[in-house]
Amino acid sequence: MSPEKHPIQKPLTTIAHILGNGDSISLFNRDEWEESNEFVGCNFSDIRFRPDYTVIMDAKPMFEVYGGMNIEIPVVLSDRCETFIVKDKKGWDKLRDEAFTFVDTITMIHDKANGYNFPMNSGHHATMYAIKRNEGVIKEVHLWGFNTFWSDDLKSNTDLIVKRNTTNRSRPNPRVSNEWRKYWKTLFNTNSNISFIVHGATEIDKYFIDVKNVKGVI
């Protein structure tokens, strides 16, 4: 049985910020944006950014939670994480009450029918969740810390937590980054009434030249 949900009570907004974990997240300054904006983390988002909630899709972070880590940001979990909790860890009642505040569960999207080898990442799902939560109101989505828009390097600040015995070294993987960019293109086209701004992007036109509602800014 799932614990009680604690939905985000923040009023709906026209602007959302999705906070990825690539190196370019250093460009984000929370104090430059109105508090009324929505701020959405991915995985172990930096609490200094004061996210309203964070979206965790992979089960790996749950190992850290069961190892004693508390997540100080309200959490939206994937159904994969919930399966891990229920089946591998024998139920929600085995999870410490203080581990995190549970917001919602969402379905992990893996478009196998169209030949995708990998599911959408936490950034895709966080973006979709923020758009759905602010449906009919949202006009802009700012994407921060997503280096895979212009690079094949999958390096993430979350690596420093999930893989405690490794450094945050380069992890180039064109197969993954290419599929993630294709997922983004579908997401942009599906939400053509929303403007998407990718911060830190240097060569975004290379992949999204025919998408009118996305632009890269340095």
Q: To the nearest whole number, what is the mean pLDDT of the chain?
A: 91
Q: How far apart are CA 150 and CA 162, in angstroms?
A: 24
The Cβ-side half-sphere exposure at 140, using a 13 Å CA radius, reads: 13
Q: How far apart are CA 195 and CA 179, in angstroms?
A: 21
Mean pLDDT by 10 residues, the chain (218 residues): 88 98 94 98 94 94 88 96 87 88 96 93 98 98 95 74 58 86 96 97 84 93
The Cβ-side half-sphere exposure at 112, using a 13 Å CA radius, reads: 1
CB 71 within 8 A of CB 65: yes
- Determine how many CB atoms are found less than 10 A away from the CB of residue 106: 19
Q: Where do the domains of the chain lie?
A: 15-217
φ and ψ at residue 89, rounded to 5 degrees? -110, 10
Q: What is the CATH number of domain 15-217?
A: 3.90.1480
CB 144 within 8 A of CB 20: yes
- Could you tell me the pTM of the whole model? 0.92
Q: What is the pLDDT of residues 164-208, one digit of tens each?
A: 445 556 776 789 999 999 999 999 999 999 999 999 987 787 889
